[in-house]
Amino acid sequence: MAKDSNTIISKTSELEEELKNTGLWQNDMPGWVHGYDDGSNISKTNFAQWLQFVFVPNHLHKSKTLPATEKKLIVPQAIKFFGDDVKKGKLLQILIEIDSLL
C-alpha cells in the first residue's frame, strides 16, 4: 500500500511539472475553487485549473487508493477538454497512469 501511495504522489508531482511545462499552470487561484465541492462545476470551468487547484492538492495527500466503485476517472474529462491537442500527449499519458493507480 505504501508503494502505491508513493507512486501516486510521484505521478501527481509529475503531473504538476507537466502542467507547468505546457503553460497551463497558473499563479493565482480562480474564485470558483473556494466553492468547489463534488466536481459538479468541472464542466463549467477550465479542466487544467481543476487539475491544478483541486486534483493535485488532494492527491498529494492521499494515503490509499479508492475502491473501484468510488473511482472517478479523469482521463475522459481530459480528453473532452484537450481534444486533439497533440501537445498535451505527455499530460494525457500521466493522467492515464494516475487513473490506473487510483
Classify burial at 66, counting beta carbons within 10 Å of its beta carbon; exposed 0-12, middle 13-18, buried 19 or more: exposed
| Residue 54 DSSP one-character state | I
Mapped onto helix, strand or coil, the DSSP state of residue 33 is: helix
Instruction: Tell me the whole-structure pTM to 2 decimals.
Output: 0.63
Span 41-66, average pLDDT: 69
Range picked from 32-36, 44-48, 53-57, 82-86 for highest mean pLDDT: 53-57
Cell of 99: 487513473
**Per-residue model confidence (pLDDT) at position 60:** 63
- Check whether 63 has a pLDDT greater than 50: no
Per-residue model confidence as pLDDT tens digits over 25-52: 999 988 777 766 655 555 556 888 888 8
* CA 86 – CA 94 distance, rounded (Å): 14
- Check whether 68 has a pLDDT greater than 70: no
Alpha-carbon torsion, ordered 86, 46, 63, 61, to 10 deg: 110
**Per-residue model confidence (pLDDT) at position 17:** 92
Q: Helical H runs in 1-102?
A: 2-21, 47-50, 56-60, 75-82, 89-101
